[in-house]
A and B are shown apart, each in its own frame.
Chain A
Amino acid sequence: MSDSRGGSDDGTGEATRPDGGHPDATAAVDALDAVDGGPEVDAADSESAATAAAAETSTNDGVRGALRHVFVVAVTEYRLAVRSRWALALTALFVVFGGVMLTFSGSAVGPAGAERVVASLTSLAAYLVPLAALALGYDAIVGREEEGWLAVVFSLPVRRSEVVAGTYLGRLAVLAGATVLGFGFSGALIVREFGAGSLSAFLGFLGGTVGVGAAFLAVALLLSTVAREKTHALGAALLVWVWFVLVHDLLALGIVAATELPDAALSALVLSNPVSAFRVFVLSGLGTTAGGGFTAVLAGSGLSTVALAASLVAWTIVPVAVAARLVRRRRL
C-alpha cells in the first residue's frame, strides 16, 4: 500500500498535515485534545491504549463532552462552508453592495453624512442579510440528511440537540465573519471619509447586522429541521423572507396609518419582526428616520436599545431551542 501521508495534495491545492489531515482540521483536533487533556497513547502498547480508550469514552458524559460534540460539529460545518465558497461569496456580496450603496449615498451627504450613509447601509442590510442567512441555513439539517451525513453523525454517541447547536454555530461563524469583513470594507471607507467619530454609529450598525443575520439563520435552521425535503425548506425560507422583509412592514405601516395604536402595540409590532427590531435598533442610535417605512413611524415607540437587542437574541435562541427539540422526531 502506498503511503502518501506527509504532504499529499487532494487536487485542490490544500496542503495536508503530516498525519494526513487538513490544516484547519489540525487546529480543531488539537484544540479538542487540549480540552480533553488526555495523554497521547502509544499505539504499540495495546493494553494501555484500550485502557485509555475506556477512560476517554467516559469523557463523553457531562458538559465537557457535550461542548466537544458541539465544537466538532461547528468546526466541521465552518470548514465545509468555507470550502464550498459560501464564506467568500457572502463576503463579496456584502463588499459589493455596501460599496455601491456607499458610492451613491456619498453624493448626498451633508454635515451628518456618516449617519446618513449608515442609515442607507441599514436599509440595504435589512433586505440582504436576512436573505443571505436564510440561503445559508435552509439546508442545514434536511440537506445533511439527504446527503446521508446526518445518519452517520447520529450513529455516534451524541445528543441530537448537540448536533443542531453545532450546525448553527458553525454556520453563524461563517455568516458573522462575512458580515464583519464584507461590511467592514464599507466601514473602513466611512471612517476614512468622515473620521473616527463615525465609528460608533457604524459599529452599532455592524452589531445589529450580525444580530439580524443570527436571527434569520436560526429561523432557517428551524425550517430545515421540520422540513421533509430540501425544496420544502427552501420554499418556506423564501416565504419567511417575503413576510418579514416585505409584507410585515407594509401591513404594520397600514395599521399605524389607519388606527391610533397605543405604544405597547407599536412595540409589539416592532418586536414581532426581527427586521423591524434591527432597523429601529440601528436608526434610533443615529437619531434619524432615514430608514423610512414603518421604522420612521416608530422612532418614538419608546423601545430601549437593550429591549431591541434582547428581542434579536430571543429571535435567535428560541428557534434554535425549538429545532434542537424537534430534531428528535426525525427518523434516522
Chain B
Amino acid sequence: MRIDASDVRKTYGDVTALDGLSLTVPSGSTFGIIGTNGAGKSTLFRLLVGHDRPDAGTVSVGGTDVTEDGRRIRERVGYLPEHVGFPDGLTGREVLGVHRAMRGLSKDGRTAEAIERVGLTADEADRRVSGYSNGMQRRLGLATVLLPDPDVLILDEPTAGLDPRGVDEFHAIVEEITSETDATVVFCSHVLGEVERLCDRAAVLHDGRVRAAGSVDELAAEAEAAADRDGDSATRSGRDRDGLRAAFREAVGDDAAHDARVGKGRADDATADREEVAP
C-alpha cells in the first residue's frame, strides 16, 4: 500500500512541526525515516494514522485521504507509537485479546501466531505484563500491530530504550516480517545503522522538511559524490564518507548530525553483542 504526503504543513502554536513536507513511500517497501529530535517524524506518523490533520497539504494511505476517515486508515494500518505501555493487570495474551476484540477479528489462531512471530513463548504470553522486561513489552507491542495482518506497519522508534541484544533481536523480527509479507513498513529511528540494515529506501527529515530521499544506496552514493565534489574527504573518516551516515550529514549539516553519531555507536554495540552471543 502506497503512502503519499504532499506539501504538508503542521503547526502547534508557534512551533512548525512540518513545513512543506512531501514524501512518497512505495507499496511493499521498507522505508526508514531518520532525523534529529524535533525533525517532525512523530508528527508525520500522527498524520499518517489520522490522529491529527494537516494545516495544509494532503496525506493519503492507499489512496485514502487521512483527513476523511482516520479510523478507516487505522483498520489497514498497524501503528506502534513511540511511548507504549500496557496495564500491569493484563497478561500479554489478554492484551492481544483486547486488540482482537476491538478490531472485530475472529478467533482463528492469529493471536498465537502473532505471539510466536515476535518470539514470545506461550508461558511469557500468559504472564502479566507487570513482569515483562522492556524488550518483551516492545515485542508485545509489535504483536499487537501484527495481529490484523496490516497492509502498512508504522513503527515510531521501535528500538528506543532496548539494550543492544534487544535491538538486534527486534531487527531480526522486522527482517522476518518484511521477507514474509508484502506489507509496507515505515519506521523512524535515530540509529542510522538500523535504517541501513532494515530499509531499502529512506528519507532524511530536518526542520519539518524532507532533505533527502531515495534508496539507501542512492542516498549513500549521492552523499559520497557531494563529499568528493566539496573536497571533504580529507576531513572525514572513511566511515563517515560511506553509507547513510554521509547522506544524513550532507542533508542536515554537521551539528545536527551529532545525534546520529550517538545512534551509530548504539548500532555498532548491537552488532558487537550479536557476534559475542552467537555460537
Q: Are B71 and A155 in contact (CB under 8 A)?
A: no
- Return the contact of A157 from the options B74, B83, B145 (Cβ within 8 A): B74
- B109 CB, min distance to chain A CBs, angstroms: 4
Give the distance in Å from the alpha carbon of A56 to the alpha carbon of B125 in the complex. Answer: 25
- A3 CB, min distance to chain B CBs, angstroms: 5
- Return the contact of B90 from the options A9, A80, A148, A332 (Cβ within 8 A): A80
Within 8 Å of chain A (Cβ to Cβ): is B103? yes
Q: Number of contact residues on A: which range applies?
A: 35 or more
Q: Are A40 and B108 in contact (CB under 8 A)?
A: yes
Within 8 Å of chain B (Cβ to Cβ): is A20? yes
Within 8 Å of chain B (Cβ to Cβ): is A325? no
Q: Are B93 and A72 in contact (CB under 8 A)?
A: no
A1-22 Cβ-contact flags toward B at 8 Å (1 or 0): 1111100111110001001111
Q: Which parts of B54-96 form the interface with A (CB within 8 Å)? A: 71-75, 79-81, 83-87, 89-91, 93-94
Give the distance in Å from the alpha carbon of A36 to the alpha carbon of B106 in the complex. Answer: 9
| Contact A157-B103, Cβ < 8 Å, known A20-B122, A80-B87 | yes
A26-61 Cβ-contact flags toward B at 8 Å (1 or 0): 001100110010111111000001101100110110
Give the distance in Å from the alpha carbon of A65 to the alpha carbon of B105 in the complex. Answer: 12
Q: In the complex, which residues of chain A have a beta carbon less than 8 angstroms from the beta carbon of B141?
A: 152
Q: In the complex, which residues of chain B have a beta carbon less than 8 angstroms from the beta carbon of A258?
A: none
Within 8 Å of chain B (Cβ to Cβ): is A232? no
- Return the contact of A20 from the options B110, B126, B128 (Cβ within 8 A): B126
Within 8 Å of chain B (Cβ to Cβ): is A259? no
Within 8 Å of chain A (Cβ to Cβ): is B148? yes
Q: Are B89 and A10 in contact (CB under 8 A)?
A: no
Give the distance in Å from the alpha carbon of A129 to the alpha carbon of B123 in the complex. Answer: 41
Q: Number of contact residues on B: which range applies?
A: 35 or more
Chain B: CB-nearest residue to A49? B108
| Contact A38-B126, Cβ < 8 Å, known A152-B85, A159-B71 | no
Chain A: CB-nearest residue to B137? A148
Q: Are B103 and A79 in contact (CB under 8 A)?
A: no
Q: Are B122 and A60 in contact (CB under 8 A)?
A: no
Q: Are A10 and B127 in contact (CB under 8 A)?
A: yes
Chain A: CB-nearest residue to B116? A1
- B68 CB, min distance to chain A CBs, angstroms: 14
Q: Which parts of B164-214 form the interface with A (CB within 8 Å)? A: none
Q: In the complex, which residues of chain A have a beta carbon less than 8 angstroms from the beta carbon of B109?
A: 43
Most buried by A among B51, B98, B111, B128: B98
- Return the contact of B51 from the options A5, A60, A332 (Cβ within 8 A): A332
Q: Which parts of A58-84 form the interface with B (CB within 8 Å)? A: 59-60, 65, 68-69, 72-73, 76, 79-80, 83-84
Q: Are A22 and B102 in contact (CB under 8 A)?
A: no
Give the distance in Å from the alpha carbon of A199 to the alpha carbon of B110 in the complex. Answer: 52
- Return the contact of A3 from the options B107, B122, B127 (Cβ within 8 A): B122
Most buried by B among A42, A83, A148, A157: A157
Task: Given A16-B93, A21-B94, A49-B108, output 19 extra A-B contacts at Cβ < 8 Å.
Answer: A4-B126, A5-B112, A8-B122, A19-B111, A36-B104, A38-B106, A56-B103, A56-B106, A68-B101, A80-B90, A148-B85, A149-B84, A151-B84, A152-B144, A155-B79, A155-B81, A156-B99, A157-B74, A157-B102
Interface residues of A (CB under 8 A from B): 1-5, 8-12, 16, 19-22, 25, 28-29, 32-33, 36, 38-43, 49-50, 52-53, 56-57, 59-60, 65, 68-69, 72-73, 76, 79-80, 83-84, 144, 147-149, 151-159, 331-332
Counting from the closest, the 3 A-B pairs by CB-CB distance are A148-B85, A43-B109, A83-B89
Can you report 22 residue pairs joining A to B where beta carbons are below 8 Å apart?
A: A4-B123, A10-B128, A19-B107, A21-B94, A22-B94, A33-B106, A39-B106, A42-B108, A43-B109, A52-B108, A56-B104, A59-B104, A72-B98, A72-B102, A84-B89, A147-B87, A148-B84, A155-B49, A155-B81, A157-B72, A157-B103, A331-B46
